[in-house]
């Protein structure tokens, strides 16, 4: 077969298209995401099946119970809190079996869901609230103290999740045949969610996804997890392990949109990630597929390598078959270490952005169409333009996805085995950035008259091989991926600039085996501030940002390399680091 055809590539248009079956019918059948997902939960074989299980307590929520709780919570929010269509709801909660029901409750009213990371500091949370202007703050009791810094918090409606769940329980005996599950008239082009992402450059931006985007993403994920099969709800006994935060698009897409839509059980492992706790849950609840981020993969492999032979034997008896990693590329040595520790588990990757409403590229969980081991090796590049032969495939385009690889110099689309910026287009691509037309215009590129919708510039350098598998080579963007979270250097540079003893500063990534990358600061002291110590800089930043954003390393330099326009030349920062090391070695 022609390699271009196998890759789904059309030389005439420069477009790569998914080789999976389209999910168009599923996308157009429902007008809103709750209308798409809630009726499935009434199927006879699903009503009593657990949708979510709390690994710590064993508490569970069946699919019928999930639907019931979503409807009851929605009615309470409408009647008691005055929540209406178009209102924004800021949801601040750790992972729980109730998180999906609360999300569906908000969406079923036509309100707009905006989850916030519980790790955010009060000031960071206030910045998100200032941008999204929520009508209602839905927060768990142990996080309510973080609301104090939100502007006009006393003029906003605050609902404690624990109280809402108690109030919803009072309505358990209501007749659900006469209670509307979804607000009438919600359209697919209406805003459903505002998730916050650093995008391709700069500080955090609100990504607006419509109900149509969410339905498209859920349908594509279902087809990918079904191995390209016929869709629909099977509830065929797969059990998915949830250790990633649902407030992040990866976790939300996989568990609020993915497993719930497919009728599969998800086991929620709460709290700080622990390999031991995770594997105990995997064994106790028969988890077959685990969704994780690279630092978790590293920790699991390390823990397994240090375990006893008896533990290793028990591990081989577990039902775990697949581990799918996302959030940042996996390094080859980490993949090899994991496979030595878990020889019977397929380790693959998926790729997505907040701007694409979740995953758009995924490894094949059920099929290997050429007999090769695409979980751990890339096909050799055919041209010298692609030199990263050690890359590991992130998978193939999911259904209804299109892509271009754009040459950075000419702006022209490239064929297989040529490296350029990845552009993508699909029904799941965001509506745009909230209150930021300039950033939207830079990220969403208008297509030609005969092409259709807009293209999303990802800022990632990629290539496609002859089988249609994609590989991430590098990032154009300046973001740091620490523990799979995006950290914007500009945000940390603003924090450092406020220190009275710092004259100038720049932030860049530094490789770290456990976290992938960590933020490192290059600091120029102010004259007369020779007393400033590295630990003081680290402590100063620690008090102002979330844990994953904290500066982990500091090097003092004489100056920060900048262009004539004042832009930091980050590629030259490594030279400053090397110079600092050499200077210390001569002392």
pLDDT at 200 (0 to 100): 45
Give per-residue pLDDT as tens, 296-321. Answer: 998 999 898 887 666 665 655 578 99
Asked if residue 357 lies in contact with residue 217, where contact means CB atoms within 8 angstroms, the answer is: yes
Choose among 576, 501, 514: nearest CA to 548.
514
* pLDDT above 90 coverage of the chain, percent: 64
Domain regions of the chain by residue span: 3-16+378-384+398-475, 32-37+64-186, 480-585
* pLDDT above 70 coverage of the chain, percent: 84
Per-residue exposure over 73-92, b if at least 16 CB sit within 10 Å of its own CB, e if not: bbbbbbeebebeeebbbbbb
- For tokens 């996996």, what's the residue? 330
Looking at the domain 480-585, which fold is it? GMP Synthetase; Chain A, domain 3 (3.30.300)
Average pLDDT, the chain: 85
3 state SS of 405: strand
Q: Which of 42-46, 52-56, 372-376, 559-563 has the lowest mean pLDDT?
A: 372-376
Confidence band, pLDDT 50/70/90 cuts, at residue 366: low
CATH value of 3-16+378-384+398-475 in 1.10.290.10, 2.30.38.10, 2.60.40.10, 2.10.70.10: 2.30.38.10
Confidence band, pLDDT 50/70/90 cuts, at residue 1: very low
Asked if residue 111 lies in contact with residue 85, where contact means CB atoms within 8 angstroms, the answer is: yes
pLDDT at 450 (0 to 100): 58
Give per-residue pLDDT as tens, 106-151. Answer: 999 999 999 999 999 999 999 999 999 999 999 999 999 999 999 8
Per-residue exposure over 407-440, b if at least 16 CB sit within 10 Å of its own CB, e if not: beeeeebbbbbbbbbbbbbbbbbbbbbbebeebb
Query: Which CATH architecture describes the domain 32-37+64-186?
Result: 3-Layer(aba) Sandwich (3.40)
Choose among 585, 580, 531, 530: nearest CA to 554.
580
| Mean pLDDT value across residues 93-108 | 97
Say how far apart CA 350 and CA 332 lie, in whole Å: 15
Say how far apart CA 32 and CA 213 lie, in whole Å: 10
* pTM tops 0.95, yes or no: no
pLDDT at 177 (0 to 100): 57
User: 3-state secondary structure string, 426-448?
Assistant: CCCCCCEECCCHHHHHHHEECCC
pLDDT at 516 over 80: yes
Give per-residue pLDDT as tens, 439-498. Answer: 999 999 987 655 667 999 999 889 999 889 999 887 777 788 898 887 888 889 989 988
Q: How many CB atoms lie within 10 A of CB 446?
A: 10
Quickly list H helices, 194-327: 211-225, 249-251, 260-262, 275-285, 294-305, 309-316
Give per-residue pLDDT as tens, 264-300. Answer: 999 999 999 999 999 999 999 999 999 999 889 989 9
Strand partners, 266: 52, 240
Quickly list H helices, 306-393: 309-316, 332-341
pLDDT at 386 over 50: no
Give per-residue pLDDT as tens, 163-209. Answer: 999 998 876 666 555 567 788 889 999 999 999 985 444 578 999 99
pLDDT at 376 over 90: no
Helices (H) and strands (E) counted in the chain, each on its own, are 18, 28
Confidence band, pLDDT 50/70/90 cuts, at residue 37: very high
Q: How many CB atoms lie within 10 A of CB 379?
A: 18
Q: Answer yes or no: same fold for 3-16+378-384+398-475 and 480-585.
A: no
pLDDT at 307 (0 to 100): 75
Residue length of the chain: 587
């Amino acid at each position: 077969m022609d390699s271009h055809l196998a890759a789904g590539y059309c030389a005439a248009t420069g477009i790569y298209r998914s080789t999976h079956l389209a999910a168009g019918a599923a996308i157009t059948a429902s007008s809103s995401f709750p209308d798409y997902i809630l009726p499935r939960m009434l199927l006879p074989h699903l009503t009593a099946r657990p949708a979510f299980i709390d690994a710590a307590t064993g508490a569970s929520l069946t699919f019928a119970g999930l639907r019931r709780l979503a409807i009851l919570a929605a009615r309470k929010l409408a009647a008691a809190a005055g929540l209406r269509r178009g209102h924004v709801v800021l949801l601040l909660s750790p992972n729980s079996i109730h998180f999906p029901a609360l999300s569906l409750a908000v969406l079923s009213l036509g309100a707009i869901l905006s989850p916030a990371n519980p790790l955010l500091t009060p000031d960071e949370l206030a910045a998100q609230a200032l941008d999204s202007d929520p009508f209602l703050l839905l927060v768990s009791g142990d996080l309510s103290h973080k609301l104090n810094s939100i502007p006009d918090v006393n003029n906003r409606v605050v609902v404690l999740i624990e109280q809402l769940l108690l109030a919803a329980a009072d309505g358990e005996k209501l007749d659900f045949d006469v209670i509307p599950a979804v607000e009438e008239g919600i359209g697919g082009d209406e805003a459903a969610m505002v998730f916050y992402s650093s995008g391709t450059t700069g500080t955090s931006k609100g990504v607006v996804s419509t109900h149509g985007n969410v339905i498209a993403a859920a349908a594509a994920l279902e087809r990918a997890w079904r191995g390209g099969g016929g869709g629909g709800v099977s509830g065929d006994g797969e059990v998915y392990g949830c250790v990633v935060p649902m407030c992040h698009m990866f976790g939300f897409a996989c568990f609020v949109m993915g497993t719930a839509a497919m009728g599969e059980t998800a086991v929620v492992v709460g709290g700080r990630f622990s390999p031991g706790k995770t594997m105990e849950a995997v064994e106790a609840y028969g988890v077959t597929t685990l969704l994780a981020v690279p630092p978790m993969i590293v920790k699991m492999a390390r823990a397994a390598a240090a375990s006893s032979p008896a533990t290793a034997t028990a591990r081989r008896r577990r039902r775990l078959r697949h581990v799918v990693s996302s959030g940042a590329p996996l390094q080859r040595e980490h993949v090899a270490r994991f496979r030595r520790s878990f020889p019977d588990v397929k380790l693959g990757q998926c790729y997505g952005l907040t701007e694409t409403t979740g995953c758009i590229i995924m490894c094949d969980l059920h099929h290997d169409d050429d007999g090769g081991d695409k979980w751990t090796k890339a096909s050799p590049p055919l041209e010298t333009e692609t030199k990263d032969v050690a890359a590991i495939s992130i998978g193939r385009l999911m259904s209804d996805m299109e892509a271009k690889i754009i040459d950075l110099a000419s702006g022209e689309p490239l064929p297989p085995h040529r490296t350029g910026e990845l552009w993508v287009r699909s029904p799941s691509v965001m509506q745009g950035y909230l209150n930021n037309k300039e950033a939207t215009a830079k990220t969403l590129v208008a297509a030609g008259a005969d092409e259709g919708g807009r293209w999303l510039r990802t800022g990632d350098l990629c290539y496609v091989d002859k089988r249609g598998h994609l590989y991430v080579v590098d990032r154009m963007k300046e973001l740091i991926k620490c523990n799979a979270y995006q950290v914007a250097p500009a945000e940390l540079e603003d924090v450092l600039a406020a220190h009275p003893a710092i004259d100038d500063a720049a932030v860049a990534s530094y490789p770290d085996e456990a976290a992938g990358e960590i933020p490192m600061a290059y600091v120029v002291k102010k004259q007369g501030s020779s007393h400033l110590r590295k630990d003081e800089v680290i402590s100063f930043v620690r008090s102002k940002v979330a844990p994953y954003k904290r500066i982990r390393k500091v090097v003092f330099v004489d100056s920060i390399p900048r262009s004539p326009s004042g832009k930091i030349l980050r590629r030259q920062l490594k030279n400053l680091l090397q110079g600092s090391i050499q200077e210390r070695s001569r002392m």
